[in-house]
Copies of this chain bind each other. A is one copy, B any other.
Amino acid sequence: MSDTTTRDEGLETIREQRCHGGVQGVYQHRARATQTTMRFSVFVPPQAARAPAPVLYFLSGLTCTEDNFTVKAGAQRYAAARGLILVAPDTSPRGDDVPDDEAYDLGQGAGFYLDATQAPWSRHFQMETYVVHELPALIERAFPARPGVRGITGHSMGGHGALTLALRNPGAYASVSALAPIASPLACPWGHKAFTAYLGEDRARWAEHDATALLRARGPMATLSARLLVDQGDADGFLRDQLKPELLDAACAEVGQALTLRMQPGYDHSYFFVNTFIGDHVAHHADALR
């Protein structure tokens, strides 16, 4: 473990710890997109000491920070075996001067991976620009990452993020997957609440950040090097009201997007579910990115 040190234009190392032969670090920097200090975790596998490695971005769900995935998912073992860098950003801007809401599903910890257009959120909540542009540029400068070779995945709100960011930014990601994603914010209470606050009342704007609507509007992801992989627990308490993978399944079928949707019997929404299936997702991305 090292003390806080400075590297690459204001990138600060919070800690670095050896893990599965690589290095699990937590870092922070002043982000232009959000006008806040953003924290993220990076796992660098041992292979990256010899040659730059592909990067898998993991987007977390409501209430999470960069810490939940890093500590609970157990993904480092698989990333070390396959030579992938793992990057887990925080789920929103944070700080005393950053707007928030008392509820867990809006404001800090609930950025929904979009660029907000409505006050008071629009000044800081620019998570799409941060995750798609600013963070990868930093990662590819400061870590042994192969430039432009990126996959994206995520859990719950972060699954929504992975799907929509890949659909909205063709060519940005060569592989996409999701664990228990919010399949259609247009069709669930979490989505209605967040999109009303961040994007306003116009539902045409909402559709630009909804995986099922994006698929119908833009067709399958031509730049994808593998099928879309989605895992969903069938004992997940949010399945029927919030997640609705059947809507994603229908949209993919309609437009011809290759999808492997696996309903996992008995699994809930927790990180025990993520821990169980993250190895398959790392393998999915490693196969596509090699």
Contacts and interface: CB of A to CB of B under 8 A. Distances in A.
Copies of the chain in the assembly: 2
Interface stretch (A18-26, A117-125, A185-193, A282-290): A18-26
A77 to B, nearest CB: 7
A71 B1 contact: no
A74 interface: yes
Interface string A265-290: 11110111101100100000000000
A240 interface: no
Interface in A187-203: none
A86 to B, nearest CB: 13
Contact of A271 (B18, B71, B275, B276): B71
A237 interface: yes
Interface string A116-159: 00000000000000000000000000000000000000000000
Contacts of A222: none
A1 B276 contact: no
B17 A268 contact: yes
Interface residues of A, number: 27
A268 B71 contact: no
Interface in A65-108: 71-72, 74, 76-77
A271 B17 CA distance: 10
A1 B268 contact: yes
12 contacts: A17-B268, A17-B270, A17-B272, A18-B265, A18-B268, A18-B272, A19-B273, A19-B275, A19-B276, A20-B276, A71-B71, A71-B72
Given A18-B272, A24-B272, 9 more contacts: A1-B235, A17-B270, A18-B235, A18-B265, A19-B273, A71-B72, A71-B271, A76-B275, A77-B279
Interface of A is mostly: mixed
By Cβ-Cβ distance, the 3 closest A-B pairs, closest first, are A74-B74, A19-B272, A18-B266
A264 B74 CA distance: 19
Interface string A7-44: 00000000001111100100000000000000000000
Of the listed residues A76, A271, A272, the one surrounded by the most CB atoms of chain B closer than 10 A to its CB is A272
A240 to B, nearest CB: 15
A76 B24 CA distance: 21
A133 B84 CA distance: 45
A18 B267 contact: yes
Given A71-B71, A72-B72, A77-B74, A233 B272 contact: no
B237 A1 contact: yes
Contact of A273 (B18, B237, B267, B268): B18
Given A71-B71, A74-B77, A275-B76, A233 B18 contact: yes
